Amino acid sequence: MKENPVEILLVEDNPHDAEMTIRALRKQHLANHLEHVSDGEEALDFVFARGKFAHRKPDQGPRVILLDLKLPKIGGLDVLRTLKSDPETKHLPVVVLTSSREDKDIVESYQLGVNSYIVKPVDFDKFVQAVGELGWYWLLLNQPPE
């Protein structure tokens, strides 16, 4: 039996932000193959198919990671650093989706090789629009290396 490839890995510890993100993606019909984890350790376990995700085939996605920065256990910037310094995962598009508009977070994310940096809008309509656009861009428009 073929398992469904996961297209979006959402790394978000705030359950309400997670629900809103998923709803926003669903509005754009982009939430069908989404996995939600709530800390940095789980995110890395998922990507590298270990721990409780050991059964997973690592070649089955994700195609894009939506990453919060302030996370329990392993922070978002450390997750980003790990992913971008591993040759197996460094091509994986990572979009930071955060409340922080601090320059130092933005600069450090880009230095670590983030593919996009989005500040979560407080206004839900803008939130839907931002999440929809980034989902559309990374899942439909962007052409990753084969």
For binding to other proteins (CB under 8 A), which residues are involved? 14, 16-17, 20, 23, 70, 98-102, 120-125, 127
Q: Which is nearer to other proteins, 98 or 115 (CB)?
A: 98
Q: Which is nearer to other proteins, 88 or 133 (CB)?
A: 133
Q: Rounded to the nearest whole angstrom, what is the least distance from the CB of residue 100 to other proteins in the complex? A: 5
Q: Cite the DSSP H helix spans in 72-123.
A: 76-85, 103-111
Residue 143, SS3?
coil
Q: Rounded to the nearest whole angstrom, what is the least distance from the CB of residue 20 to other proteins in the complex? A: 4
Residue 10, SS3?
strand
Q: Rounded to the nearest whole angstrom, what is the least distance from the CB of residue 76 to other proteins in the complex? A: 12
Q: Which is nearer to other proteins, 70 or 73 (CB)?
A: 70
Q: Rounded to the nearest whole angstrom, what is the least distance from the CB of residue 128 to other proteins in the complex? A: 9
Q: Rounded to the nearest whole angstrom, what is the least distance from the CB of residue 55 to other proteins in the complex? A: 33
Contact 30, 136 (CB under 8 A): yes
Nearest to 146 by CA among 81, 84, 80, 63: 63
Q: Which is nearer to other proteins, 52 or 101 (CB)?
A: 101
How far is Cα 116 from Cα 119, in angstroms, rounded to an integer?
10
Please state whether beta strands 94-98 and 116-119 pair in parallel, antiparallel, or not at all (unpaired). Answer: parallel
Q: Which is nearer to other proteins, 59 or 123 (CB)?
A: 123
Contact 30, 140 (CB under 8 A): no
